[in-house]
Structure 1
C-alpha cells in the first residue's frame, strides 16, 4: 500500500494536484493518526487531536507541514494502522498543500527578516580584515561566552542574544583590538639573533632517569629524547622576546639521531619507520615559562622531519607577536620516557647507575662515572645545534590601514569599513562630536580618535552582520547583500571589490552576483566556509566532546588523530565544492583524503609523509562517502563504545533531513556497556518494547546497525570485544528500513540512500540555506528549497552549483 501512495505522489506532485476545499483534513487525522498521536498516546512526542485546521500562525503551519512531509514520504500512517485509500491520501496531500500555500501568503506580511550579531568566529575574522591585525596568537574573544548552537549551527540570529556581560566583553575586545592594531604599526630596528647550544641547555649529563631527557654534553648541541608536550622544551633563556609584531625568519640547524636503535621494538613506543620530527612553537613568556611545557599561548608554527645523522638548516617564515619567543619540541618521540628509560638502563646499561640513581630529589650524582646514563643511551633523539631569529620584515604598505591617519577626518572611512556600508551624515556627525568631546576633556586628537574608533566597534552597526532595523536610515540593500554574501562565504566583512560592486548598484544582478561568488570561493578566505559549514552541518564541532577511552584507543592520542579526522572531511568537502562534483559523493565515493597516520588508521596502503593527498579507495572499500569518515564516526560515539542510536539519528538528521523527535522524558537512556555483557541489539530491543519508542527506533536502529562496522574511533571491525580485549561476538550489520528494503552492510545501505538522493538534496539545501541566512528555515521557505533542488537536479547536482543557486535565490537576495 505504501508503494502505491508513493507512486501516486510521484506521478502527481502536490503542486499539480487540485485542492478539494470540501475535504476534511481533520477527519483524515482522526481516522489514521489520532490513536497514536492523541490524548492517550503521543508517539514521537506528537499530538494532533488538538491541532487546529485553520493555519493561523507559523507554529500551526509548521505542524501541518511536518504531517504533510511524513505522508509524502510514505512513513505515515504505519503499516499496522488502518490505511487510507490512494484517492483519500491524494486529496489530503492536495488540500494541505494548498492550505500551506495560502498560509505562506497570509503570514508573509510579518516577514522573515532576522538581524543577527556576529558570533565569536565572525568577530575575530572581521577584526582581522578591518584592522589588518594578525590573529594567529591574538584573540580578543577569549572572555566571550560560548555561542549557542541550534542543530549544530552557531550563527543563528535568534540564539545569538546580547547580555550585559557580553556588552562589557565587547568594550574590552574593542579596546584590545584597537591597541593591538596600533602596536602593529610600530617600526623597530630588525634583529638577527644567533642562539647557540649553550644558550639553550647547559646540562652536560644525566645520571638518573628524569621524566625528560635534555643534555648538552659537548657544548655544541642539545639532545632531546622525550616528547611529552607537558614536559620541558628547548628554549634559549637569554632571548627575551621579539621586539615587535611581524613576520620573522627562524633558522634551526638540526638532525635526527638514532631513529634506528638497538633496543626492543616496543621498548620506547615509537615508530622506527617514521623520521624524527622537530616542532617549532611560538609562545608568550608572560603566560608561562617557555621551557616549562605547553601552555595556553602556544602556537605550532612548523613541524618538519629531520634527516638522519645529517645536519641541515631548516628555515621558516613565521608570525610572532611582540614579546613572543620560539621554542623547539621533539614532536614524535617517546611519551612516557622515564618509565622506558628505567627499564632500558637496567637491562642494557647497568654500569651507568649511580648509588643514588633512584633518588628523585638528588641533583648531583653520588659518584663520578666514566660513562653517564645520557652518554650510554642509544635511543632516538632530536639534536639541535643552533637557532637564528631575524626580523621583523617591513610592513606591506600596499594594504589599507584605517588607523594610519589618526585625525577626525579619518572617522568617515573607518565608519564605512566598520559598518560595512556608507555611513549616514548623521552618524559621521555623531562620532565627530564624540571625538571633539574627548579632546575637550583633555585627550590629544590621536587618543580621542582611537577612543572614538573603540566606541564605533561597540555599535550595533558593527556588531550585527547587517544593519539592525533601529540603527539608521540607510535603505541601501546592496550593501546588506554584500555583507550577507561575505559572511556566508568568508565569515567576515566584504573586501574592496565586493564593496565596489555594491556601490555600483549592480550586485543584485545575477551576472555580477555570480561573478563575485565565484571569485570569493577561489579566495583563501573561503576556507572559513568549508570549515564552519562542515562543522555545523556534520556536527564536527562536537568531535572531541566525548574523548575516546585512553586505554582502549591509544592510537587516537599517540597519533593525534582528532585534527586529522576533521581535516579529511574538510578537504573532501573542498574537493567536491571546487570541482563541482555531484553531492552523491557525500553518500558514496571512490576517493578520500589521507596522510600517513590516517591511512594506517583506515588500514589503507601506506602513504609517506604528513601531508594530506587525494587517494583512490580500494574496490569494495567501506570508506567511501561521509559515513566512512572517522570524524563522523567518532563524533557519533560516546567515547567507550559506538552508538547505533546516535549514528542512526545523525544520518536521519544530516543526510535524509528527517530527524526523530527527542525521546520521551520517562524513558531511561542507554548506558555504555562497558562490561560487554550484552550486545547493542539486545539493549536496543528493550527500547523497542516501549510503545512510545518503537516508531522512532524502527527508523533509527537499522541505519545505526549498518555503521557498527566501525568502532568508536572509526576503525573497521568484525567482532565486539570486552574490556579485557576478548572477542564476545560478531558484528551484525544487517537491517531493514521502514520501507521494507533490507541490507547486509554499510555498502548496501549507501546504495539504498543513493535512491533517496532527492531527499538528501533537500536536506543539504536546507542546511546550507540555514547557514547562509543565519536563521532557521521553515515551511515558508519550502517553495524556495523545492525550486533550488529542481534546478540543482537539472544542473547535475554539483555542490558548487548549489552554492550559486542559494546565492541567487530570491530569499538570499531579499532576506
Structure 2
C-alpha cells in the first residue's frame, strides 16, 4: 500500500501528543505510596506501653543491635510514634508469637493472657490509626497491557485471533505476577514490535480486495460411509440412512448447502430428501425424476461459525424394511438388484435416492469478520465521511475503554481523509486509522485519567475506569459491551455483584486459572523442570503435560462450580488420564489403586488419552493441590525431593508467611558423598539444623516439607527413600502434630483456614490491583477475609469482595 512506508512516521506523530496528554496525571513510577495526612493522630497512646513491655520482655534479648537475630531489631519500638511507623515489623512479630514460632523453646514462654494483651494492643492501635487517617486506596502506577492482555484485547476488539504479542519481549515479574505497573516498562524494542504488530493486524483485520467466494465439493462416490462395493457411478444410491461428508469452515458468515439428486420409486410414493447439519435437520424436499437428466439441485442457506461441520443428505421416507445398500459390510440391501453398470435399481416396493454431490459455498461476504465487525458501526446509506466518524467513535470507545473526545475522533477521521486524498481506497484509510489506535498509549496503557491529580482525598473511580479494572481483573481483557453500556448509564457500581457473577461464568474467566493461579502457584516452572533421567526414566513430555493439565482442570472445576477455596488444600476429587493415573497408581474413577480390597466399590476404567473426573477417598494420600504431581515436581530437585523447598512453598504460597532468606555461607546438604547416602534425608536435615543460623527457619519449613516425603521428586508415591523407611511425621510450631500429607492437609483446613484465606486474598488482590500491598491495605484485606469466611469460603465471594473493596474501587491524588 502506498502509505505503508509512512506507518512509522504517522504512528509516532500520533503517539507523542497522545502520550503527553494521557500520562500527565499518572503517578511517577518511583513515587512510593504514602498515607494521606490524618486530621487526627494517636499521641502517647497508653497501649504503646503494653507493646513495648512485651517486646522488651520476650523479644529484645535476641533482636537487638548486638545479636540482631534474623536481621531484626525491636528495641527501637518504645513509643506510639515508633510503633505506628514500624507497622510491618511489629505485626510480623505479633504473627510469630501467635503462631508459637517465637520465642524459641529455649527461652521463657509468654503466658496466654500476655499474648492476648499484646495482640489487642497492637491491633487496636493500628485500627484506630487507620480510622483516624481515613480510607487510603493507594495509587497504581500507570500500567501497560502485558503480553497476555494485549493478545486478549486485540482478539476481543477486532474479533480475530492473532497472537501478535508472542513475538514481544518477556514481561517482567513483580510481587509474583506479570501485570504489576511498576515493572511493566516500555523499551525501544517493544515499541518497534508494537508498530510492526499494528501494521500486520490492521491489514489482516481490514482487506482492500475481498477474496472470491469459497467452494467446497465432494462427489457422490466419495461420500461417507465408504466401502469396497460403493458404485463407481457419479450418483450415489441411498435406500436407507444418509450419506455425509465433513467440511472445515475457516470464516463465519452465510453459506449455501447444495446437493443434486433424483429418485426412483416403484410404489408410487414420492421420495423425500432431508438436508442435515451435524445430525440436525435443516429442511426436507420432495424429489422426483427417473434418471440423472431429471436431477435437480436443492439447497439451504444458513449462517455458520468457523469450525468443522458434517453435512449430510438423508432419505427421509425409506421403504418399509429397507436396508442400506451394500457398502462392503457383507449385507445386501433388500429389494436391490444391479444392472450391468453396477448401479442399483429398485425392485418392487423400493425407493432409492440418488445423490451426485454435496457442495458448500461461502461465506457470501468474504471479508473477514473483523472487517465486517468494524464497519457494522456505520450506516451503509450515510455519506462516507459520516460512516468514517461512526466507525471511529465505536472503535475508540472500545479500544480506549471510555468515550473518546471529539478531538480524538477528528484526528482519526482526518487520517482516513488524507489516505483517500492520496488516491487510496477508503478501506486503506481505515487501516491507517486502526494502526494509529493500536499504537496509542490510550490503547497500550490502562490509563485512569484524573481531573484532580493533586487532590489528596480518596474518591471513586469513574464507571468506565471501574469497568476496565473489573474486566482486566477477571478476564485479562477489555470490557465487553454490557460493561460499557452499564458504565455509560452509571449503573455498573449498583450492579457489581451481578456483573462479577456473570463474568465468572464466562469462558473468558479461564484467565484466572491460566494467568493468576499458574503464577501464584509458580507452576510455569514446570515447563523447565528436568528430573534426572537415570533416576526417573519414566518421566517424559506426556507426563509433564498431564501433570499441568490435571492442575488446570482441577482449578477450572473450583472456578466453574464456585467451590470453597479450602478445596484447594483438601478436595475429594481430581482429574486424571491413563498416563497420570498409572503414575499415581490409581485404576478407576473411584480412586481405587492396585491394592483395592475385596468388596470395595469399583469405578469405571480411566480411558486412554482423555481426562476424566476421579473421586478420591477421604483422608487418602492424594487430595487438593499439595499432593498433585505438578506442585510436587516444581518443589523438588532434579535428583531428589526437597523438604525445604516444599515447606518454603507452603509457607509462602499457602500460608502467606515466607521465611527470611537463608543466611550467607551456609553449606548445602552433602548430596553425593558416601556419608550422605548412609543417612536418610531426615537425618541429613537434622544434622544441617545443628547450625544455629539455620535452626529457626528450618523449624518452620522442614516439618511441612517432610509431610510430603512419601512423594518422590516427580510426584509418584513411595514407601522408602533408598534403603530407609520414610518418616512423614512432624510437629508444627504451634504444637500440632501429624503423620503424612493427609493429616497435614486436615490441620491446614481446620486450624489454618483463616491464614490460608488471608493469603489467597492478598495474592488475588495484588493481581487485581496491579501493585504490591501496603500497610493501609490491611483493613481491606481483613474485611474481605471475614466476608469470604462467612460465605463458606466461596471463590465467587472472594472475587466479589475484592471488586467492592476501597483499594479496587477508589483512587487518590498525588502526595508530597
TM-score range normalised by the length of the shorter chain: 0.5 to 0.7
Aligned equivalent of 1:610: 609
Aligned equivalent of 2:278: none
Q: Distance in 2 between matches of 1:183 and 1:643?
A: 56
Aligned equivalent of 2:398: 417
Paired residues in the alignment total: 607
Is 1:495 aligned with 2:480?
yes
Aligned equivalent of 2:548: 566
Q: Distance in 2 between matches of 1:399 and 1:539?
A: 39
Query: CA shift at 1:477, angstroms?
Result: 1.1
Match of 1:774 among 753, 770, 777: 770
SS in 2 for 1:610: coil
Match of 1:481 among 448, 456, 466: 466
Query: CA shift at 1:732, angstroms?
Result: 1.9
Query: CA shift at 1:93, angstroms?
Result: 2.5
After TM superposition, the structure 1 = structure 2 runs for residues 165-314 of structure 1, keeping only pairs within 5 Å, are 165-182=189-206, 186-190=210-214, 192=216
Q: Distance in 1 between matches of 2:156 and 2:452?
A: 23
Query: CA shift at 1:566, angstroms?
Result: 1.7
Match of 1:535 among 504, 518, 521: 518
Aligned equivalent of 2:532: 549
Calculate the TM-score normalised by the size of structure 1.
0.67
Q: Can you list the C-alpha shifts for 1:570-590, whole angstroms capped at 9, x where unaligned?
A: 222222233232222222122
SS in 2 for 1:554: coil
Range moving further from structure 2, 497-506 or 94-103: 94-103
Query: CA shift at 1:715, angstroms?
Result: 0.6
Query: CA shift at 1:565, angstroms?
Result: 1.5
Match of 1:526 among 496, 506, 509: 509
8 Å contact 1:33–1:77 — kept in the other structure? yes
Distance 1:673 1:569, change over 3 A: farther
8 Å contact 1:460–1:467 — kept in the other structure? no
Is 1:117 aligned with 2:112?
no
Aligned equivalent of 1:666: 665
Match of 1:148 among 150, 161, 172: 172
User: Any unmatched runs of 5+ in structure 1?
Assistant: 1-17, 196-241, 250-316, 321-387, 721-726
Aligned equivalent of 2:119: 93
Q: Distance in 2 between matches of 1:398 and 1:246?
A: 10
Q: Can you list the C-alpha shifts for 1:403-434, whole angstroms capped at 9, x where unaligned?
A: 67783552222111111111123433444455
Distance 1:813 1:439, change over 3 A: same
8 Å contact 1:595–1:612 — kept in the other structure? yes
Query: CA shift at 1:478, angstroms?
Result: 0.8
Distance 1:469 1:186, change over 3 A: farther
8 Å contact 1:19–1:98 — kept in the other structure? no
Distance 1:78 1:438, change over 3 A: farther
Distance 1:400 1:23, change over 3 A: farther
Q: Distance in 1 between matches of 2:148 and 2:121?
A: 45
Q: Distance in 2 between matches of 1:549 and 1:107?
A: 56
Distance 1:416 1:740, change over 3 A: same
Is 1:632 aligned with 2:626?
no
Query: CA shift at 1:189, angstroms?
Result: 3.2
Match of 1:586 among 554, 565, 568: 568
Q: Can you list the C-alpha shifts for 1:546-596, whole angstroms capped at 9, x where unaligned?
A: 3222333333316x1222222222222222233232222222122111122
Range moving further from structure 2, 609-618 or 590-599: 609-618
Distance 1:399 1:411, change over 3 A: closer
Aligned equivalent of 1:737: 732
Q: Distance in 2 between matches of 1:540 and 1:87?
A: 42
8 Å contact 2:151–2:165 — kept in the other structure? yes
Query: CA shift at 1:175, angstroms?
Result: 2.2
Match of 2:499 among 507, 516, 534: 516
8 Å contact 2:156–2:477 — kept in the other structure? yes
After TM superposition, the structure 1 = structure 2 runs for residues 367-386 of structure 1, keeping only pairs within 5 Å, are none
Q: Can you list the C-alpha shifts for 1:193-218, whole angstroms capped at 9, x where unaligned?
A: 899xxxxxxxxxxxxxxxxxxxxxxx
Q: Distance in 2 between matches of 1:318 and 1:86?
A: 67
Distance 1:400 1:194, change over 3 A: closer
Q: Distance in 2 between matches of 1:654 and 1:28?
A: 30
Query: CA shift at 1:644, angstroms?
Result: 0.9
Q: Distance in 1 between matches of 2:213 and 2:82?
A: 71
Aligned equivalent of 2:713: 712
Match of 1:80 among 106, 111, 134: 106
Distance 1:475 1:766, change over 3 A: closer
Aligned equivalent of 1:133: 160
Query: CA shift at 1:646, angstroms?
Result: 0.9
Calculate the TM-score normalised by the size of structure 2.
0.67
Is 1:728 aligned with 2:723?
yes
Aligned equivalent of 2:438: 457
Higher relative contact order by CA 8 Å / sep ≥ 6: 1 or 2? 2
8 Å contact 1:43–1:691 — kept in the other structure? no
After TM superposition, the structure 1 = structure 2 runs for residues 390-469 of structure 1, keeping only pairs within 5 Å, are 401-402=373-374, 407-433=388-414, 446-467=427-448, 469=450
Query: CA shift at 1:709, angstroms?
Result: 1.0
After TM superposition, the structure 1 = structure 2 runs for residues 292-371 of structure 1, keeping only pairs within 5 Å, are none
Q: Can you list the C-alpha shifts for 1:647-701, whole angstroms capped at 9, x where unaligned?
A: 1011111221111122123324457559872432233234322323211110000
Q: Which has the larger radius of gyration?
A: 2
SS in 2 for 1:580: coil
Distance 1:458 1:162, change over 3 A: same
SS in 2 for 1:593: strand
Distance 1:29 1:527, change over 3 A: same
SS in 1 for 2:199: helix
After TM superposition, the structure 1 = structure 2 runs for residues 53-72 of structure 1, keeping only pairs within 5 Å, are 60-72=86-98
Distance 1:78 1:640, change over 3 A: same
Distance 1:641 1:22, change over 3 A: closer
Q: Distance in 2 between matches of 1:475 and 1:440?
A: 45
Query: CA shift at 1:122, angstroms?
Result: 0.8
Q: Can you list the C-alpha shifts for 1:7-29, whole angstroms capped at 9, x where unaligned?
A: xxxxxxxxxxx973451634533
8 Å contact 1:578–1:800 — kept in the other structure? no
Aligned equivalent of 1:623: 622
Query: CA shift at 1:623, angstroms?
Result: 0.8
Q: Distance in 2 between matches of 1:50 and 1:438?
A: 69
8 Å contact 1:568–1:592 — kept in the other structure? yes
SS in 1 for 2:713: coil
Aligned equivalent of 1:703: 704
Aligned equivalent of 1:268: none
Query: CA shift at 1:148, angstroms?
Result: 2.1
Alignment RMSD? 3.8
8 Å contact 2:787–2:797 — kept in the other structure? no
Distance 1:742 1:39, change over 3 A: same
Aligned equivalent of 1:30: 56
SS in 2 for 1:451: helix
Distance 1:577 1:805, change over 3 A: same
Distance 1:475 1:61, change over 3 A: closer
Q: Distance in 2 between matches of 1:695 and 1:665?
A: 15
Q: Distance in 1 between matches of 2:584 and 2:359?
A: 40
SS in 2 for 1:743: strand
Q: Distance in 2 between matches of 1:449 and 1:318?
A: 25
Is 1:746 aligned with 2:772?
no
